[in-house]
Amino acid sequence: MAGLMSGFGCFTHAVMRAAPRSLARDALRSGGQEVDLLKVQEEHEEYASVLKHRLGLEVLELPADEAMPDCVFVEDAAVVCGDTALVSRPGAPSRRRETEAMKSALTELGLNVVEMTDESATLEGGDVLFTGREFFVGLSKRTNQRGAEILADTFKDYAVSTVPVQGALHLKSFCSMAGPGLIAIGSSEAAQKALKIMQQMSDHKYDKLTLPDDSAANCIYMNLPGKGDVLLHCTPEEFPESAKVFEKLKDHMLIPVTNQEKAKVDGGLTCCSVLINKKKNI
């Protein structure tokens, strides 16, 4: 840690979790679409491969648990910032136990693990947008005020602002960070409204990258040594218009990653990994 809030996008490790067979049938979804498990697993492997081989991250892959059909979406189970990890309490009761494996994994990685024990609190990582300077927590069906408070207690250095989320599962269903100070945002009314709120709540100025498709606004930004700005984003096959927008980011290493199948169960790119920076630069 060269200092507070430095090194946004620097990651050394990633925690992932394999997709259980039960995902195809039992995973929560808003669309009610059929999911091809094989395709999900293919996507998952591609994803892991990019992190491991293309980007050189150390990927810790947790085994799937058939009792937890949504367990592949590890992002919701924990929020990691710096050396501190907050193990969340997912709003969906069926997902509560996903945190157990996550907690042990994070502990194993040497992080300062904080658990959300309050029975009244719910929080899923998909509702947590960390911009490098502050947190925005979406208040959704899965995340409540109390959960946000605990997050604020856990990461005291940062401002934590709440953003009502409507018409989407998670806050990050339509936005994410596409670079330092750059927010990728969908074009839907809900997304734009949320962005306005975030802009009003923040002391910092953010640029925005507006994407025609809300789902495409969920991307993964990293800043890796030797590679510079890296952006994992949607493929042209899924969102041709949005992909064009990403392609205008000339300074980024752009890596399209397929997410077609997981999207059917409301999974975005960010959902499938918890990124960790274990280097201690202090």
170 catalytic per annotation? yes
| Backbone dihedral angles phi then psi of residue 50, each to the nearest 5 degrees | -60, -45
Residues 191-250 that bind another protein (CB under 8 A): 196, 200-203, 207-210, 245, 248
Tell me whether residue 81 is one of the annotated catalytic residues.
no
- Min. distance of Cβ 33 from another protein in angstroms? 29
> Does residue 1 bind another protein (CB under 8 A)?
yes
CA angle 60, 132, 111 (to 5 degrees): 35
* Sign of the CA dihedral running 276, 160, 246, 235: positive
| Identity of the residue, 86 or 271, whose beta carbon is nearer to another protein in the bound complex | 86
- Catalytic residue chosen out of the listed positions 13, 71, 81, 170: 170
Find the catalytic residue in 71, 81, 271, 272. 271
> Six-digit token pair at 177?
């960070």
Query: Among 160, 163, 162, 216, which residue's Cα sits nearest to residue 185?
Result: 216
Contact letters (x/-) for another protein, 148-177, by CB under 8 A?
xx--xx-xxxxxxxx---------------
Nearest distance from residue 206's CB to another protein, in Å?
A: 11
Binding segment for another protein (CB under 8 A), chosen from 12-20, 52-60, 102-110, 144-152, is 144-152
- Number of residues in contact with another protein under rule CB under 8 A: 36
In whole angstroms, the minimum distance from the beta carbon of 226 to another protein comes to 24
Nearer to another protein, 49 or 112 (CB): 112
Nearest to 217 by CA among 180, 270, 255: 270
Q: Are 140 and 92 in contact (CB under 8 A)?
A: no
**Residue 97, amino acid:** R
Integer Cα distance of 9 and 274 in angstroms = 12
Phi, psi of 5, rounded to the nearest 5 degrees: 65, 25
| 228 phi-psi bin (left φ>0, alpha ψ -120 to 50, beta other) | left
- Catalytic residue numbers read 170, 271
Instruction: Give the footprint of another protein on this chain (CB under 8 A).
Output: 1, 3-5, 82-84, 112, 133-134, 137, 145, 148-149, 152-153, 155-162, 196, 200-203, 207-210, 245, 248, 282
